[in-house]
Amino acid sequence: MVTLQTHSVDFISLREQFDTTNAMGKAMLRIALVFAQLEREQTSERISDVMVYRASKGLYNGGTTPFGYICVNKEWQPDKKEKSVVELIFQTFIQTRSTIATASLLNRDGFKNRKGNLWDCRRVLDILKSPVYIGSRRWKGRVFPDTHPPIISEKIFEQAQAFLKTISQPASIRSPFQRLLICGHCLSPMSPRYSLNRTKCRYYYYRCTQHSQCGKPDQKCDSKAINFGEMERRIAQAFERLSHPDHLKSIENQVIKHNQAIEAQTELMDSEIDQCKRTLAKLKDRQDQFLDSLILPNLTTVDRKRINAKLEELDIEAKQLQTVLNKKEFERNQKADELFNLTEIKQYISECISLDSTDPAAYRASLQRLIDSITVYPSKLTVQFRWIPWPWEVDV
């Protein structure tokens, strides 16, 4: 209804007798919508309460059977093969205190997950944190005792949880190009990281997220890390070169060629729209002629019925043609919106060059607003601006 009101469209239903063209009809429709929403929310609450109650009683609520179990008559039973893998995961993690080392050992010994893929540290972490393996079940953020048999003892599970808490999480690194950089080697995101040198000082750099994949040599990316300062220098140089007359001339030619293609399509659409309007005008003229003939005094009842039937046919045809016309005008306006303003594109580039990098927060926010992604190659960058369909390659 909000969408209809936004476009000044009224809603009339003959069966329910709703008519939003008057105040009473609008009020009745709002009341009906309120009660419908109330019933839907109450139904959702009742279902949610029943599911929580079933979970508290250890009953099966559906969903994917966790790794290590099979579903038999809506009950989880340990799977002999997967159970041994779960036990190995907990034992190896307690010994190594590393999810990466655990995943690497599983992959080295030839163990695969349920889908036949290699293990990674995230999947290992999910198993280590799941209370399913001590005979409990997590539902809506709460843990309930369950009736399925455990695979791991509570002592081993608590020991693993204690080691998980001691694992140091990497500190958050705020980078001006965070979530913008893409590795040109494998097209994966690049993330900011740091390491400590001999004097315990932090060295900040960008590296492809596929560089280390927990024992997955076939998926490992061989791209090199790039220093923060080096990346900032290359991107600043790319913005400057984009503003060079040669680049701007290439951009201008591309925009002009694109706009010419769009204008040719809109001209064709305009001719189709004009044809529809002319046909619609002819239909209305014929309707007027039949209406004028109804006032003739010598018309018989049969003639009047024929004229009225013809008027109904013309009215249906006119409505169908009006629908086609509205659709064509909408498509034409959408196509016209694809035209680009060369001045605005040049403004985007100049704005990137004039950004003040001394304020990291404002610099990062401006980059996120102007740029969609920057693909990093060894000798060039590909910059994809927002609201502009083409990426531009710059040698740096």
> Do β-strands 181-183 and 371-376 pair in parallel, antiparallel, or remain unpaired?
parallel
CB-CB contact of 367 with 374 (8 Å): no
- Do 49 and 99 reside in the same domain of the chain? no
In a domain, 388, yes or no: no
CA-wise closest residue to 93 among 131, 123, 132: 123
Q: What b/e string do you get for 254-289 counting C-beta neighbours within 10 Å, with b at 16 or more?
A: bbeeeeeebeeebeebeeebeebeeebeebeeebee
Query: Does one domain contain both 76 and 41?
Result: no
- The single residue listed with the structure tokens 């004028």 is 292
Residues ≥6 apart with Cβ < 8 Å to 304: 294
What pLDDT score was predicted for residue 63? 63
Query: Is residue 137 a part of any domain in this protein?
Result: yes
Q: Report if residue 234 sits inside a domain.
A: no
To the nearest 10°, the Cα dihedral for 141, 143, 149, 153? 110
Flag whether 107 is in a domain.
yes
CA-to-CA distance for 24 and 201, rounded, in angstroms? Answer: 73
**85 and 44 share one domain:** no
Same domain, 25 and 104: no
Residues making up the chain, counted from first to last: 396
What pLDDT does 273 receive? Answer: 93
| Residue 170 per-residue DSSP state | P
Domain co-membership, 73 together with 52: no
CA distance 105 to 124: 11
Q: Would residue 33 count as lying in a domain? A: yes
284, 310, 336 — which closes off a domain? 336
Q: How far is CA 93 from CA 37, 68, 101, 159, 214, in A?
A: 49, 17, 8, 10, 14
Output the CA angle 322-326-329, nearest 5 degrees.
135
DSSP-based three-state secondary structure for 385: strand
Instruction: Check whether residue 36 and residue 76 sit in a common domain.
Output: no
Residue 212 lies in a domain: no
Domain count of the fold of the chain: 3
Asked, for residue 276, whether it belongs to a domain, the answer is: yes
Contact 102, 93 (CB under 8 A): yes
Contact 18, 11 (CB under 8 A): yes
Same domain, 78 and 152: yes
81: CATH: 3.90.1750.20
Do 44 and 86 share a structural domain?
Answer: no
Give the structural domain span for 272. Answer: 256-336
- What is the rounded distance in angstroms from the CA atom of residue 340 to the CA atom of residue 385? 13
Q: Does some domain include residue 204?
A: no
In this structure, the answer to whether residues 78 and 16 fall within a common structural domain is no
Residue 303, SS3 per DSSP: helix
Asked if residue 73 and residue 125 are part of one domain, the reply reads yes
Of 311, 336, 361, which residue sits at a domain end?
A: 336
Residue 328 contacts residue 269 (beta carbons within 8 Å): yes
pLDDT at position 14 is 61
pLDDT of residue 215: 47
> Are 47 and 98 members of one domain?
no
End position of a domain, from candidates 111, 138, 166:
166
94 and 141 in a single domain? The answer is yes
pLDDT along the chain (396 residues), means of 10: 65 63 72 79 72 58 78 82 90 85 86 85 87 79 74 88 69 73 89 78 84 56 86 86 81 87 92 92 88 80 84 88 88 87 78 73 78 90 82 83
